[in-house]
Chain A
Amino acid sequence: MSEIPLVPENHVPLPNVSSSNGLLAWVASVDHKQIGIMYLLTTLLFFLVGGIEALLMRIQLAQPRFSFLSPEAYNQIFSMHGTTMIFLVVMPMLIGFSTYIVPLHIGARDMAFPRLNAFSFWVLLFGGLLLYFSFLAPGGAPAVGWFAYAPLNERPFSSNLGVDYWALGLLCTGTGSIAAGINIIVTVLTLRAPGMTMRRLPVFTWMSFINAFLIIFAIPILNAALAALLIDRQLGGVFFKPSESGSALLWQHLFWGFGHPEVYIMVLPAFGAISEVISVFSRKPVFGYAFLVGSGFGIALLSFAVWAHHMFAVGLGDPLNLVFGGASMLIALPTGIKVFNWIGTAWGGSIRFSTAMLFALTFIIEFTIGGISGVAFAVFPIDWQLTDSYFVVAHMHYVLFGGTMFAVFAAIFYWFPKMSGRRLSERLGKWHFWLTVIGFNTTFFIQHILGIIGMPRRVYTYPDLPGWGWMNLVSSIGAGILGLGVLVFCWNVVYSFKRGQPAGDNPWDAWTLEWATTSPPPPHNFAQVPPVRGRRPLWDLHHPDNTDAQNPKVSED
């Protein structure tokens, strides 16, 4: 009467977590939990590197006409900061969570393609190293921004190899992401435990699933652009060379055709994690499950139809601008629905203010600020005024740091006990939380104002105009506080991994299947998958007299 799903046995036995082979057991692993953890550790490392780059920039910008960094060094560092945070941190970090959690959420033993899973991770790491290798190449790292606009990205303007490393590195990480996307979709569709219907999938797994579709359809757009760029640079092609009737605008169309869906690739699984955390720490099922999932679909579809809002200043003409402005405003609808879902989930619940929950609730606030400043850009005259200013920098960091990174911290505090068997320290967690909130808002809120009064982004220094000096100093001090918060966090991870309070199987009294197994789970994940008769299998298991199916308030909508 075992409820273990029928996963075909691998011909080669899966490496064992507790194998005495040490490092080799990790390097050769095809176990989704080990690969997921390697994803998280790698991306955490790149997060520190990208963070150091950010701090170097904030030191340079702390006072007008400062000469801490040369213009060349600054350009390289800000390009690497953006590229690192987007391609080597946020995106693969979320993929790492999906890799670890999705098979557990659906009661499976592993991903559908364990070897492909390992390939996804290693090619990501290889791409990251390739990108950073550019620092050693003559001429140094790419200095063209994470968007590498044409024709700056072409040979005549960027003659050293930095851009080539950039393009090759991103082709590698992109290939890994596509492989991971295919793997996640096939896993969700084919390996669900008996009873785990699509309508019962945890919201995090739903978001990972939708995200995987975004990945497999958006990344090839970037890959095509990168291939064309490499052909231009290495074989003398003329795709993006206006001097030879190529089109610099084509690069922008391709890049943002990928770039806008990418924004949602970097946030959908974060939405999912937030939904889990808020629900568990409010002791209530997710409010409006169908709307949460449906709006995820809405966002995914719309995200492919709004790319030109990154190009309002290009001069596409008012008819096109109106279409893309209108479509971009539409995206606020499904996103707004989600915000109300989360508020509705927490509303009237018995909230436990753990660090995970604090980060999750603050996520709602910071992300909403970033969302509002984002919708402002859809009104293209506002965009014309604010584009390429620090307002954009503020906006995107509210979405990506205040949004996704806060959600990532919530997710780490929530799932660390499952991964390691120990809880993170709540005391250090509170320090980490408050330093992050104060540091983050000090750094970035004032950049809205800097942008409005006209400070351009992507510049290595600025003149001593009224207000610019002290506001930048405030922003830099904020960055320092933020850095301190990250240090506390790292210490917490290291300390708690060794000395943390043992977690037990289900420290948060949560309801999804990953909490049914031991912490950390055995190599085969589940000795026995509990019966799945609703969206909260563990609730049903522990409350046989009051299951979700019997409760009209939480019945499946």
Chain B
Amino acid sequence: MLKTLLKEKHTLGMVLFIGSEAVFFLMLVLAYVYLRAFEPASFTAASALKPLQTGIFSLFLFASSGTVWLAHRSLSQKRHTALCLWLAATIGLGAIFLIGQGLEWRDLLRQNIDVSQHLFGTTFFTLTGFHGLHVIIGLLLLLITLVLALLGDFKSGHSTAMETISLYWHFVDVVWVVIFCVMYLWTLL
């Protein structure tokens, strides 16, 4: 596993990029935890979050990690139609998650909670915003892959693009697990 990783430059590059991105998100999460630990009074608005609703939308994102894995497997089994279908499913699931995020943002904004309102607003919109940005980038990459696949690419059974994009997509998923825990589940405590 490690041996092959050390030979395949694209996968290796993506792993390193993810490592760097992970530090970026870790810092934003730590900043949130630090501020919340020292200034709990500025986080009362966190009660406006809906952990159940967002939890359900999160399931779509988690499921998309599974479908992208299936897409990758279909690729190595040279099942071209399955590849296209699983890619489309991944994009659909990711998009549903993003819609959920949009609904939640709209709810908060309607309650006058925005990025300039208290530490909660600032940290919430920063963290979910940067994560959402990564989801959008991931969706664009998946969309390009899907279009290429529909045009007949990826029939060789191996594609570094597919491999690196699915790695990235899993990463976006894991980041959401962390954000969901510190942002939503902490509120339930």
Q: Which residues of A contact B31 (CB under 8 A)?
A: 224, 228, 239, 250, 254
Q: Separation in Å of the B9 CB from the closest CB of chain A?
A: 5
Which A236-293 residues have a C-beta within 8 angstroms of B? 236-239, 244-247, 250, 253-254, 257
What are 12 A-B residue pairs whose CB atoms fall within 8 Å in the complex?
A112-B9, A112-B13, A113-B13, A182-B13, A189-B6, A221-B23, A224-B31, A237-B115, A237-B122, A238-B122, A239-B126, A254-B31
Given A247-B34, A247-B38, A254-B27, answer yes or no on A236-B20 (Cβ-Cβ < 8 Å).
Answer: no
Chain A 402-439 per-residue mask, 1 if CB under 8 angstroms from chain B, else 0: 00000000000000000000000000000000000000
Closest partner residue, chain B, to A234 (CB atom): B115
Tell me what chain B mostly uses at the interface: helix, strand, loop, or mixed.
helix
Taking the nearest CB of chain B, how far is it from the CB of A428, in angstroms? 42
The proximity string for B residues 24-66 relative to A, scoring 1 for CB distances below 8 Å and 0 otherwise, is 1001100100110011011000000000000000000000000
B21 within 8 A of A: yes
Q: In the complex, what residues of A have CB within 8 A of residue B20's CB? A: 178, 181-182, 216-217, 219-220
Task: Answer whether A227 and B130 are a contact pair too, CB < 8 Å, given A113-B9, A235-B115.
Answer: yes
User: Nearest chain A CB to B87's CB is how many angstroms away?
Assistant: 25
Q: Which of B111-131 contact A (CB under 8 A)?
A: 115-116, 118-119, 121-123, 126, 130
Give how many B residues have a beta carbon under 8 Å from the other chain's beta carbons. 31
Given A182-B20, A217-B19, A228-B31, do A245 and B119 touch, yes or no (CB 8 Å)? yes
Cα(A250)–Cα(B30), bound, Å: 10
- Do most interface residues of chain A lie in helix, strand or loop, or is the interface mixed? helix
* Contact (Cβ within 8 A) B116 A185: no
The reply to whether B122 and A231 contact each other, CB–CB distance below 8 Å, is yes
Interface string of A386-412 (1 = CB under 8 A from B): 000000000000000000000000000
Residue of B nearest to A224 (CB): B27
Chain A positions near chain B (C-beta within 8 angstroms): 112-113, 116, 178, 181-183, 185-186, 189-191, 216-217, 219-221, 223-225, 227-228, 231-232, 235-239, 244-247, 250, 253-254, 257
CB <8 Å contact, A189 and B12: yes
Distance of A328 Cα from B13 Cα, bound (Å):
32
Closest partner residue, chain B, to A112 (CB atom): B9
Cα distance, A245 to B6, chains bound together (Å) = 47
Q: Is B7 an interface residue (CB 8 A)?
A: yes
Cα separation A185 to B119 with both chains bound (whole Å): 38
Distance of A216 Cα from B17 Cα, bound (Å): 8
Which residues from B are CB-within-8-Å of A189? Answer: 6, 12
Residues of B within 8 A of A224 (CB): 23-24, 27-28, 31
Q: How far is the CA of A221 from the CA of B30 in the complex (A)?
A: 11
Residues from chain B with Cβ under 8 Å of A216 in the complex: 16-17, 19-20, 23
Complex alpha-carbon distance, A223 and B23, angstroms:
10
**Chain B residues within 8 Å of A181, by CB:** 16, 20
Nearest CB in chain A to that of B122: its residue: A237
Q: How far is the CA of A239 from the CA of B130 in the complex (A)?
A: 15
Residues of A near B42 (CB, < 8 A) are 245
Choose from B13, B19, B122 the contact partner of A239 (Cβ within 8 Å). B122
**Contact call B35/A247, Cβ cutoff below 8 A:** yes
Q: How far is the CB of B15 from chain A (nearest CB, A)?
A: 9
Q: Is there an interface contact between A186 and B126, defined as CB atoms closer than 8 Å?
A: no
User: Which residues of B lie under 8 Å from residue A225 when comparing CB positions?
Assistant: 27
Kindly provide the distance from the CB of A360 to the nearest chain B CB, expressed in whole angstroms: 31
- Hey, which chain A residues are within 8 Å of B19, CB to CB? 216-217
Cβ-neighbour of A186 out of B13, B24, B121 (below 8 A):
B13
Whether B116 contacts A236 by the Cβ 8 Å rule is: yes
B12 touches A190 (CB 8 A): yes
Chain B residues positioned under 8 Å from A220 (CB to CB): 20-21, 23-24, 27
New A-B pairs, 5, CB < 8 Å, besides A112-B13, A113-B9: A185-B16, A186-B13, A216-B17, A220-B21, A228-B31
